[in-house]
Chain A
Amino acid sequence: DQQVKQNSPSLSVQEGRISILNCDYTNSMFDYFLWYKKYPAEGPTFLISISSIKDKNEDGRFTVFLNKSAKHLSLHIVPSQPGDSAVYFCAARGTGSARQLTFGSGTQLTVLP
């Protein structure tokens, strides 16, 4: 059973608009969440993260929101640019001896010029 779910395999957005990528998780013991971005023929690269003690973290055009009661995570990109077109993976980190990352299945974002 997938503990981290990205229910939208793809998303298309017009350049300049907001992109919202969503992620749901089931394990309430996750204490840290990350977003990775992946271009074709490259490995995933770290984008932004958030600790479970926060509900928002911002880095330039990228903001991650965490709603712990809903076990929901979202990544907002404003304004979206064509260079943001990539696959976005959310990941969650467990606690204690299980402190490794569990990844979602990814969302392909396409920003249309």
Chain B
Amino acid sequence: EAQVTQNPRYLITVTGKKLTVTCSQNMNHEYMSWYRQDPGLGLRQIYYSMNVEVTDKGDVPEGYKVSRKEKRNFPLILESPSPNQTSLYFCASSRQRWDTQYFGPGTRLTVL
């Protein structure tokens, strides 16, 4: 089954404790992206990757890192999480940047 998976689905952590949210897709897609969803603000792009080893900032990249060492994986790293990063996070992939995106199920992160 074609899908985008994310782990963990739910995470509660404390300020400053490094964490990684994993994302994997099995569709051989070139393009992968991370979004956060906040009330009243919709989906805002954090980082994206056009291909392996090619990443770039989206609209709200501050406080986040990403890497793309393999085509299927695109982890999101929060080196020192802060409460304003409490949000619902989605990973997405598509064949190319302009194609319809397929979203993962989301990761609800709470930073205390």
Contacts and interface: CB of A to CB of B under 8 A. Distances in A.
Interface of A: 2, 4, 6, 9, 32, 34, 36, 41-46, 49, 89, 91, 93, 99-101, 103-106
Most buried by A among B102, B103, B105: B103
Interface of B: 4, 33, 35, 40-45, 48, 58, 90, 92, 97-98, 100-106
A43 B103 contact: yes
B48 A43 contact: no
A91 B105 CA distance: 19
Given A34-B100, A100-B48, A42 B106 contact: yes
A74 to B, nearest CB: 17
B105 A43 contact: yes
19 contacts: A9-B40, A34-B100, A41-B106, A43-B105, A43-B106, A44-B90, A46-B102, A89-B42, A89-B43, A91-B43, A93-B98, A99-B97, A101-B45, A103-B35, A103-B42, A104-B42, A105-B40, A105-B41, A105-B42
Given A101-B45, A105-B42, 20 more contacts: A4-B42, A32-B98, A36-B103, A41-B106, A43-B90, A43-B105, A44-B90, A45-B103, A46-B100, A46-B101, A46-B102, A89-B42, A99-B98, A100-B45, A100-B48, A100-B58, A100-B97, A100-B98, A103-B44, A106-B42
Given A9-B40, A99-B97, A99-B98, A43 B45 contact: no
B40 A43 contact: no
Nearest to B42: A105
Most buried by B among A89, A100, A104: A100
Contacts of A91: 43
A44 to B, nearest CB: 5
A25 to B, nearest CB: 13
A101 B104 CA distance: 16
A4 B43 CA distance: 11
A45 B4 CA distance: 11
Contacts of B43: 44, 89, 91, 103
Contacts of B33: 100
